[in-house]
Amino acid sequence: MTYADASGEHTVRAHAVVLAAGGFEASSCLTARHLGPEWARAIVRGTPTNDGAILELALALGAAPYGTCHSVAWDAGAPPGGGDRRLTNQYTRQSYPLGIVVDRDGRRFVDEGADYRNYTYAKYGREILRRPGSIAWQLFDATTRPMLRTEEYDSRPITWADGNTVEELASRLGISPEGLRPTVDDFNASIVDEPFDPSIKDGRRARAEPPKSNWALALEAPPFYGYAVSCGITFTFGGLHVDTSARVLDEESRPIKGLYAAGELVGGLFSGNYPGGSGLTSGAVFGRIAGAAARTLLHRYCGRGGLAHRWGVR
C-alpha cells in the first residue's frame, strides 16, 4: 500500500491485508454504475466517507464484485449527502405498516403490511426510488397518528403536512387529489373486518391493488397526515466476493493471496431484503474470521517469533 503525508510518499508491505473500509453508498457515481442510474438520486443515510475508494482498488486488483444494497424510507427533505450524527435515525419513517404509502399520482405501490416492519423496511426504499420523482408519501389519519414512532414522526426537521380532507392533504403534499381520492375510497371499502392487533400478523387485510396483508385500518378520521419520503441508502450489500474464510475471490472464484474482507465491503450476504441487525452480526463474524485467517498467514511467513512477535500477533 502506498500513502502520502507531510513527509512524503510511503509504501507499506504486508503478507496479509484485511479490507474493512465500508461500502460505496456515498458515491453517486458508483451507486449509479453498480446498482442502476436511479440510485444516483438516493439520499445517503450514513457517513459521507463511504465512497468506495478501497472497493475500487480491490476491483482493479482483479477482485470480483457481488451484491446490491440496504435502503429505507427516509425523509424527503433530509440532506442528500448524509452524515448528520446529531439526528442519527430520526430521518427514517418506519410506521408505514399502520397507514398507506402512495406516489405523486395518489396510487399505492407496496403491501405496507406484508410482514413485520423489520422484515420489509430495508427493501421498500428501493420501491420508492422507482416511483415518479423518486418520492412517496406515508398517509395516516387521526386514529393512526398517535400510534406512530415518536422519535421519527415527532422529530424536527420533518417534511410533512396535514389536512381536514383527503383532497386538502393531497394538495398540500403535491399529490394528485383526483388520484388519491379513489385510492383511499377503494382501500377503505376493501378492508376485511378482522380484529386489529399490531403485535401480531393479524390478517386484517385490504383486498385492494396491491393488497395490504395485515394491519389495514381505514383512512377516514380527520385530520389526515402525510409524510414525504424518499429512498435513503444505508449501506451497500454489494462489495467483494469472499469465501467462508473471508478470502477475497477473483472473477474465476479463486482466492487472491493475502487479501481478506469484512464488514460492508463483503458482498452477496444479502440480496433483495435484510433482517434488521444482521449487518452487525456479519461484521463481527467475518471480522473475526478475516483476522484469524490473516494471523495464520502471518505466522506461516514470519513464524511465531520474529516479526509476528514484535507486531503483537499471538
Examine the fold and report which residue of 232, 254, 281 is the final residue of a domain before the chain moves on.
232
- Per-residue pLDDT of 66-111, as tens digits, reads 766 678 899 999 888 776 767 777 899 999 999 999 999 999 999 9
Are 44 and 101 in the same domain?
A: no
Q: Which CATH number is 139's domain given?
A: 3.90.700.10
Are 49 and 133 in the same domain?
A: no
- Per-residue pLDDT of 29-48, as tens digits, reads 888 887 888 888 888 887 88
Q: Which residue has the cell 466476493?
A: 241
Select from 94, 24, 86, 91 the least CA-distant residue to 59.
Answer: 24
Quote the pLDDT of residue 99: 98
Determine the Cα angle at 145 with ends 140 and 151, to 5°: 115
Does pLDDT of 308 surpass 70?
A: no
Contacts of 159 (CB under 8 A, 6+ apart): 75, 76, 77, 227, 228
Determine the Cα angle at 109 with ends 106 and 111, to 5°: 125
CA distance 101 to 107: 8
Does pLDDT of 146 surpass 90?
A: yes
Quote the pLDDT of residue 170: 98
Q: How confident is the model at residue 208 (pLDDT cuts 50, 70, 90)?
A: very high
Are 78 and 187 in the same domain?
A: yes
Select from 148, 127, 135, 143 the least CA-distant residue to 221.
Answer: 143
Q: How many CB atoms lie within 10 A of CB 141?
A: 21
Does pLDDT of 139 surpass 60?
A: yes
Are 111 and 226 in the same domain?
A: yes
Does pLDDT of 195 surpass 70?
A: yes
Mean pLDDT of the chain: 88
195-199 mean pLDDT: 96
Q: Which residue has the cell 422519535?
A: 151
Does pLDDT of 217 surpass 70?
A: yes
CB 137 within 8 A of CB 211: no
Helical H segments across the chain, by residue range: 28-35, 53-60, 121-129, 150-153, 166-173, 177-189, 278-302, 306-310
- Total tally of structural domains belonging to the chain: 2
Does pLDDT of 25 surpass 90?
A: no
Are 118 and 215 in the same domain?
A: yes
**Taking the mean position of all CA atoms in its chain, how far away is CA 214?**
23
Are 125 and 202 in the same domain?
A: yes
The answer to whether position 2 is within a domain reads: no
Are 81 and 215 in the same domain?
A: yes
Handedness of CA 122, 234, 277, 59 (dihedral sign): positive
Answer whether 0.85 is exceeded by the pTM. Answer: no
18-27 mean pLDDT: 88
Q: What residue type is assigned to position 71 of the chain?
A: S
Q: Which residue has the cell 474470521?
A: 289
Q: Which residue has the cell 403490511?
A: 113
Quote the pLDDT of residue 83: 66
Q: Which domain holds residue 27?
A: 14-69+236-310
The answer to whether position 1 is within a domain reads: no
Beta strands 43-44 and 65-66 are unpaired
Does pLDDT of 305 surpass 80?
A: no
CA distance 280 to 174: 38
Q: Residue 44: what are its φ and ψ, rounded to 5°?
A: -80, 120
Are 155 and 271 in the same domain?
A: no
Instruction: Say whether 16 sits in a helix, a strand or coil.
Output: coil
Q: Which CATH number is 30's domain given?
A: 3.50.50.60
Instruction: Say whether 108 sits in a helix, a strand or coil.
Output: strand
The answer to whether position 102 is within a domain reads: yes
Does pLDDT of 28 surpass 80?
A: yes
Examine the fold and report which residue of 232, 266, 284 is the final residue of a domain before the chain moves on.
232
Quote the pLDDT of residue 142: 98
The answer to whether position 6 is within a domain reads: no
Does pLDDT of 149 surpass 90?
A: yes
Quote the pLDDT of residue 313: 46
- Per-residue pLDDT of 227-270, as tens digits, reads 999 998 877 777 889 999 999 999 888 999 999 999 888 887 87
CA distance 269 to 267: 6
Does pLDDT of 12 surpass 60?
A: yes
CA distance 278 to 291: 20
